[in-house]
Amino acid sequence: MSQPVHSGYRPTLWERLAAAPHPSVSFESSFWHATAPAGPQTRRLEGEVRGKLAVIGGGYLGFSTALHLAEAGHEVTVLEADEPGFGASGRNTGFAVPNLLTGLDPRDVKATFGDERGTLLCRMLGEGGDLVFELIRRHEIDCEARQTGWMQPLHTPAKAAWLDDRIEQWKALGRPVQRLSRDEAVYETGSDQYHGAFLDPTGGHLNPLGYVRGLAHAAIRHGATVFSDSRARRLERVGDVWRIETEHGVLIADRVLLTTNATGGGLSPAAEGTQFPITLFQVATKPLDPELRKSVLPNDRCSADTRKDLIAFRWTWDNRLVTGGLLANPLGSAERGRTHHIGRLQRLLPQLPPLRVAYAWQGRLAAARDFMPRLMELGPNAWSAIACNGRGMAMTTALGRQVALWLGGGSNEGLPVPVTRPDPVLLPGLASLAFSLWLPMNRWKDAQDLKG
Ligand SMILES: Cc1cc2nc3c(=O)[nH]c(=O)nc-3n(C[C@H](O)[C@H](O)[C@H](O)COP(=O)(O)OP(=O)(O)OC[C@H]3O[C@@H](n4cnc5c(N)ncnc54)[C@H](O)[C@@H]3O)c2cc1C
């Protein structure tokens, strides 16, 4: 991940360490950056500007909130440190997943947020895939969108009962999810190593940078003001307004929403202290023979399996496979990231010819300690939202719409997550490190599953 160069940016020690050895896997080195339509022409914040509501952070969450507010006729100003989509939104695998991470089911959500709010949150998330594709159609966003379904194949028969239970929980919420048999899963993925699958036909895949740029275009068309290259360096309450300082200007706003995910750079220590960053590595292969598409993901679905260290893969429009995930040592070499992820895919799909990496990049997401979304009150009329749990595209888009309804005058009772005070993680840097150490243990567990 390339480091933003704006003066005033203060990356945490962990951010510095994790970013240092990977200069070749930046925002610009991604396949999405090479192929997405251009983002909107925006300018830098200069001088003093007055606004009503400031959204700080131009990813899915910031732009979904801004778009829905602007569509409803509200005035909103987005400040982005670099360019729209520079964070995780422009670098992810491009899966629209109406679901949570393995191990987090509707039952867990209700246990965290209570029955009523938990049900609201699951409904919102379940409808998130449809919302993403509906926004793309309505705003004519050019992002290679395919609502062909999201699959979670079983890497071991030992998890079959767990998967059945997961499917029942989502069905009980009225979701059109399906259970694929072993034969169907093998056909749908092209790998004979799978034992069945969860299918949500409302999920799908797209060019993630194209999608976030499209949201930014749409927000601007509906009246939102967007400043790029404008990292908020200081946020302070002056009288009854907020003063947001960038390198070249100041935005004075009545209300502020932070949607900075894992890269806030010290803007709000309280909000940033509630989350820890996780770095993910991505690769796209050289184009493959289009005939292979008949046997690998023949229905053009996207797939992320039930391993703890999951294997995710999908096609692009030009016959490349995209895959990626965690690295046991995020401080290791970029070359290791390339060979590790491509090697796993090759072993899963041994019928493929030798795969060659054409693009490699990495991005960072923020997770709360329970991997659930958060809406935090930072002060009078100032909030921070994080919705990422590694499956954040549908979640952030849908949460942005809910937050817009609330900030546009609705009651916070209707929100799918409560508005709380920040609940800090003890030493986020250490939590990231612990997460890296968690990986080898879970790889070992995945290997045991396969033996068992
Ligand atoms: C490699 C990778 C793969 C992933 N794959 C998937 C996937 O396939 N499907 C899925 O659903 N989710 C996936 N995710 C998660 C998903 O990308 C995130 O949940 C989502 O993009 C988060 O959106 P966001 O708007 O909250 O944050 P971001 O997109 O990170 O946006 C935050 C923005 O804030 C800006 N910013 C930060 N600080 C400041 C400041 N002080 N002033 C102004 N601007 C600031 C940043 O530049 C950035 O643009 C993946 C994540 C990664 C990293």
Copy the structure tokens of residue 175. Answer: 């979701």
The closest-lying atom of ligand 1 relative to the alpha carbon of residue 394 is 11
Q: Identify the H or E element spanning 71.
A: helix 60-71
Assess contact for 327 and 335: CB atoms under 8 A: no
Amino acid symbol at 197: A
The pLDDT assigned to 413 comes to 84
For strands 374-379 and 150-153, give the pairing.
unpaired
91 — pLDDT class (breaks 50, 70, 90): very high
Model confidence band, residue 332 (pLDDT cutoffs 50, 70, 90): low
Q: Amino acid letter at 438?
A: W
Q: Which atom of ligand 1 lies closest to the CA of 62?
A: 25
Q: Give the Å distance between the CA of 296 and the centre of ligand 1.
A: 29
Q: How far is the CA of 178 from the centre of ligand 1 (A)?
A: 29
The span from the CA of 208 to the CA of 136, in Å, is 12
pLDDT value at residue 397: 97
Ligand 1 proximity of 91 Cβ (cutoff 6 Å): yes
Quick check: 103 pLDDT over 70? Answer: yes
Q: Tell how strand 302-304 and strand 150-153 pair up.
A: parallel
- Checking if the pLDDT of 373 tops 80, the result is yes
Q: Measured between alpha carbons, how far apart are the two ends of the chain, in Å?
A: 38
* pLDDT digits 0-9 by tens, 210-245: 999 999 999 999 999 999 999 999 999 999 999 999
Residue 132 Cβ inside 6 Å of ligand 1? The answer reads: no
Q: Which of 17-21, 168-172, 328-332, 412-416 has the highest mean pLDDT?
A: 168-172
CA-closest residue to ligand 1 atom 18: 392
CA distances from 88 to 32, 59, 112, 282, 448 (A): 12, 7, 26, 12, 32
Protein residue closest via CA to atom 4 of ligand 1: 92
In which region does residue 57 sit, left (phi positive, over 0), alpha (psi from -120 to 50) or beta (all else)? Answer: left
Please report the atom of ligand 1 found closest to the CA of residue 61.
25
CA distance 64 to 13: 31
> What dihedral do alpha carbons 169, 171, 176, 177 form, nearest 10°?
40
**Which residue CA neighbors atom 31 of ligand 1 most closely?**
59
User: Which atom of ligand 1 is least distant from the CA of 267?
Assistant: 41
111-138 per-position pLDDT tens digit? 999 999 999 999 999 999 999 999 999 9
Domains of the chain: 13-451 (3.50.50.60)
Mean pLDDT in residue range 296-308: 96
Query: Is the beta carbon of 373 within 6 A of some atom in ligand 1?
Result: no
Nearest protein Cα to ligand 1, atom 13:
391
Ligand 1 center–CA 32 separation, angstroms: 14
DSSP state of 262: G
